[in-house]
Amino acid sequence: MLSKSPKLRAVLFRCAQSIPVVIGVVIISFLLTRALPGDPAVYFAGVAADEASIEQTRIEMGLDKPLVQQFFVYVGDLLRGDLGQSLSSGQAVATDLANRLPASLELTLTALILACAIAIPLGILAATRPGTWVDHLCRVVVTAGVSLPTFFTGILLIYIFYYLLGIAPSPLGRLDFIYLDPDHVTGFYLIDAALMGDWETWRGAAKQLMLPAITLALFTLAPIARMTRASMLTALSSDFIRTARAAGLSSRKVLYGYALRNALLPVVTTLGMVFSFALGANVLVEKVFAWPGIGSYAVEALVVSDYAAVQGFVLAMALLFVALNLVIDLLYAVIDPRIGFTAQ
């Protein structure tokens, strides 16, 4: 039966291991939001509000209750699937996250695909030609990519491709004003437009996505290329590679069939770390390109001490990271079957 499958048991076991992490995130995010400077009741009551109005606002927001009682109310709402209501947007936090998270995921995933398309081949070339100009080019690219701040790279790309050359659309969100948003299916404009068969909107969304994705990709390709090069160098110097070459296998088979596959495990680990970092740190890219993602949403919520929005953002990111770690564990077993699926 399916329930007795060792693979399924291992997946369920690793999901269960993530429960304490999520509980810890809930507790820490609740305490840290309450430690934010400022009083949200004062902000939302308005600059002309008197003490009575501020107190009334505090009661309406539930901030007059003891901290422990506020926490249990928050946990009770979470168990019912209620993340609360954002005071700054006036909508449910779950609705805000559902609207904004796909934008950040689409940007981050596109940037990661672009980074991998450049970084992995570059790392392989550098490892197979150590000390040559290719190796030095790899070092220059990764150093430049990690050294340039994302906001500077974004502004520079806007200046060149939008202002000087005029070949890029205006950096104002996910779609130019001449297009209509595609019907919401996944929240990914490229996928939704393709599902509708609206290729004109698809091209518009792709053009709008390119500059912010390139900006983020230039920043994320550095650790991927560096890890690919280091892992390939280690694999190529291993005994099993020398044995494979002595057995008369072709260079292509040795490089891609043996060396690259064994070097992929640390690269996959790096990809997971880079994705997690990029998803949480792309707020500068979102600000430069007016991208309506989850990072800018969190910053706006922090400025006004919007507790529900901040807690919802932190919880959503924690669940994403838990899911990402599970996917990485599964990829390990696919890349190297010796790891297997074991629930210990």
pLDDT in tens, 154-191: 899 999 999 898 888 888 888 888 888 888 888 899 99
Please give the average per-residue pLDDT across 99-127, as a whole number.
89
**Does any domain span residue 253?**
no
Asked whether residue 240 is domain-assigned, the answer is: no
In a domain, 103, yes or no: yes
The verdict on 295 and 187 lying in the same domain is yes
In a domain, 332, yes or no: no
pLDDT at 53 over 60: yes
∠ Cα 151 156 162 (to 5°):
115
Contact 2, 8 (CB under 8 A): yes
Question: Do 119 and 217 belong together in one domain?
Answer: yes
What confidence tier does 50 reach under pLDDT thresholds 50, 70, 90?
Answer: confident
Q: Is residue 59 part of a domain?
A: yes
Same domain, 133 and 281: yes
Condensed to tens digits (0 to 9), the pLDDT of residues 6-40 reads: 667 767 777 777 788 888 888 888 887 777 766 67
CA distance 242 to 249: 10
Give the pLDDT confidence score for residue 1 in this predicted structure. 41
CA angle 274-280-285, nearest 5°? 95
Q: State whether 158 and 116 are in the same domain.
A: yes
Residues 198 and 280 in one domain: yes
- Residue 16 included in any domain: yes
Please tell me the distance from the alpha carbon of residue 316 to that of residue 104, in angstroms, as a whole number: 12
Q: What total number of domains does the chain contain?
A: 2
Q: Are residues 14 and 140 in the same domain?
A: no
Q: Which of 1-10, 169-178, 192-201 has the lowest mean pLDDT?
A: 1-10
In a shared domain, residues 108 and 45: no
Instruction: Give yes or no: residues 146 and 281 share one domain.
Output: yes
Q: Is residue 14 part of a domain?
A: yes
Whether residues 71 and 179 share a domain: the answer is: no
Q: For the residues 88-96, what does the mean pLDDT come to? A: 83
Residue 213 sits in which domain range?
99-230+272-303
Is there a contact between 138 and 225 (Cβ–Cβ < 8 Å)? Answer: yes
Same domain? 105 vs 209? yes
Contacts of 149 (CB under 8 A, 6+ apart): 284
Residues 41 and 125 in one domain: no
Is 206 contained in some domain?
Answer: yes
How far is Cα 297 from Cα 289, in angstroms, rounded to an integer? 14
User: Contact 169/176 with Cβ under 8 angstroms?
Assistant: yes
Residues 6+ apart with CB under 8 A from 71: 27, 30
My answer on whether 122 and 186 are in the same domain is yes
The residues, ordered by sequence, that sit 6+ positions from 114 with a Cβ below 8 Å of its Cβ are 213, 214, 217, 221
Tokens of 18: 């993530």
**Residue-wise DSSP of 59-93:** HHTTTTS-HHHHHHHHHHHHHTT---B-TTTSSBH
Model confidence band, residue 113 (pLDDT cutoffs 50, 70, 90): very high
* 229-288 pLDDT tens trace: 888 888 888 888 888 888 877 888 888 877 888 888 888 888 888 887 787 778 888 888
Residue 308: CB atoms within 10 Å: 24
Residues in the chain: 344
